């Protein structure tokens, strides 16, 4: 029984990875929209927005050398941490996300871009997450 259970767990893990890989591949195309302001991958530097390597599993607003808005600094101080789901929610509407996360109706993040398409937001988050070491 124990062997069966772990075999099942492995299968589930494996199919999960395949799904994540597909999302990330679709997300790479979506990321073209982000490139105007964000760089990602080896040697990526902060531009209009912070470079997006290694942000999943890290506190909001913690990319070194980037000058964040007050809202992002407040989220950082509040100990909020990015995961794939919260990034998808954030990029759908950064201002609404920050107002909710900080419980502050005046929260005003600097990112003005919105990606309303839920599937695209999820895919691009998976793509961003593929540049983070979360293991
Ligand atoms: C018009 C420029 C612009 C575009 C386009 C844009 N962003 Fe941003 N983004 C910013 C800025 C500026 C910040 C910093 C926000 C702040 O300090 O309030 C930011 C912050 C972020 C953060 C938080 C990073 C951290 O260090 O905590 C994430 C995640 C993010 N953007 C993802 C994306 C994704 C994914 C896309 C494409 C779907 C995208 N952004 C498109 C300007 C942009």
* 8 Å CB contact between 33 and 115: yes
Q: pLDDT by residue (tens digit) across 9-46?
A: 555 555 566 677 778 999 999 999 999 999 999 999 99
* Cα–Cα distance, 10 to 26 (Å, whole number): 25
> Which is the closest atom of ligand 1 to the Cα of 59?
27
Nearest CA among 18, 27, 28 for reference residue 123 = 27
**Atom from ligand 1 closest to the CA of residue 30:** 38
Ligand 1 center from residue 133 Cα (angstroms): 19
Give per-residue pLDDT as tens, 51-67: 999 999 999 999 999 99
Residue 8 has pLDDT above 60, yes or no: no
Return the structure tokens found at 17.
């990875």
Question: Does residue 12 line the site of ligand 1, with CB under 6 A?
Answer: no
pLDDT value of residue 20: 72
Please provide the average confidence, as pLDDT, over all residues in the chain. 90
Average pLDDT of span 107-131: 96
Pairwise CA distance, residues 24 & 87, whole Å: 14
């Amino acid at each position: 029984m124990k062997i069966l259970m772990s075999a099942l767990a492995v299968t589930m893990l494996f199919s999960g990875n395949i799904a994540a890989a597909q999302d990330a591949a679709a997300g790479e195309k979506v990321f073209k929209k982000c490139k105007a302001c964000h760089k990602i991958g080896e040697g990526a530097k902060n531009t209009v927005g912070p470079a997006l390597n290694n942000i999943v599993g890290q506190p909001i607003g913690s990319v070194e050398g980037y000058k964040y808005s007050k809202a992002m600094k407040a989220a950082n101080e509040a100990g909020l941490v990015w995961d794939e789901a919260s990034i998808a929610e954030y990029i759908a509407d950064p201002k609404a996300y920050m107002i909710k996360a900080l419980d502050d109706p005046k929260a005003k993040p600097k990112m003005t871009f919105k990606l309303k398409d839920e599937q695209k937001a999820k895919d691009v988050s998976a793509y961003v997450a593929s540049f983070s070491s979360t293991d």
